[in-house]
Structure 1
Amino acid sequence: MATALTDRITRLVEPVATALGYELVRVAMMGGPYGGSVLQIMAERPDGTMLVEDCEKLSREISVILDVEDPISGEYTLEVSSPGVDRPLTRKKDFAAYAGHLAKFELSEAVDGRRRFKGMLLGMQDDMVQIDVEGEKVEVDLGNVHKAKLVLTDELLKKAGAQATG
């Protein structure tokens, strides 16, 4: 979920990522495993790939901006990564591109009395995310999606393998 801090960081690092040929997928602040904070930045190339070398390059450039602007009080760890196979769905284009795959959703406001859904992502219609939940079509406003993430399945692994080789 975006906060004033993550919005500010996004505004700082997105132009750098774009200039290097990457798209931001998610910017998040999280608690670290041993205390402290972790700034997680997920990015990818427009074709959906992201190599370790890409993460290193982006991390170096982002570090410079963050050191100069200093938006985070206290110590933190910068983590730059690809979204991975079972990726978070954060952008409208993600919900369209991954139609036909199983996903989990957490909503800000309940729909049909529920805030959590697991179902087949059917895609987008205007700003409505369409999900098949146990044979029933559920529509959720994109603005109501707090978190969404693909579920690791054989079909998803096949798609990821096809993207990596093709």
Structure 2
Amino acid sequence: MDLNTLLETTVVGLGYELVDVELSPRGRTIRVFIDAPGKENGIDVEDCAKVSNQLTRVFEVENIDFDRLEISSPGMDRVVKKAADFERFAGQDIQIKLRIPHNGRRNFQGELLGHKDGKVGLRLEKDEVELEFTNIEKARLVPRFD
């Protein structure tokens, strides 16, 4: 079983959402970002410890070689990757970087309008655009501080 499948299976099995995984260049540090969408106050230290303890045991059984395992909440500026996330966070501000430019631009920031038919809607200052979901290289929420 590959690492991503192992992480997804374990984290989801514990009742959390796997948001993102980062590996250090040599794969010695594994950073896992988890969320609990139904939990009012988000991820806390106990959640991170629970996932860390379980993953450590699973890695031992599966012979996954690593030096350090870090478990964290995705933070307010969380990465948005899955189509369902683009729907879930509609109405929030987002930064999107494209693989291939759209109308001469690769970077966009605006209000997320959602995901429909393989396209992500975005309200910019002066107009709205639809971006191909498969062309999104990176997307991250932008927190609002009023």
TM-score w.r.t. length of structure 2: 0.86
1:29 equivalenced with 2:20 (yes/no) = no
Residue 55 of structure 1 aligns to a residue whose secondary structure is helix
- How many residue pairs align between the two structures? 144
Cα deviation per residue 1:21-57 (whole Å; 9 max; x = unaligned)? 11111112135xxx97432111112415222101110
Give the structure with the higher percent helix.
1
Counterpart contact for 1:13–1:65, Cα < 8 Å: no
After superposition, where does 1:29-68 map in structure 2 within 5 Å? 29-31=23-25, 37-47=28-38, 49-68=42-61
Does the C-alpha gap of structure 1 residues 139 and 76 become closer, same or farther in structure 2, counting only changes over 3 Å?
farther
After superposition, where does 1:8-157 map in structure 2 within 5 Å? 8-31=2-25, 37-47=28-38, 49-71=42-64, 75-154=66-145
Residue 56 of structure 1 aligns to a residue whose secondary structure is helix
Q: Unmatched 5+ residue regions in structure 2?
A: none
Counterpart contact for 1:21–1:46, Cα < 8 Å: no
Q: Unmatched 5+ residue regions in structure 1?
A: 1-6, 156-166
TM-score w.r.t. length of structure 1: 0.76
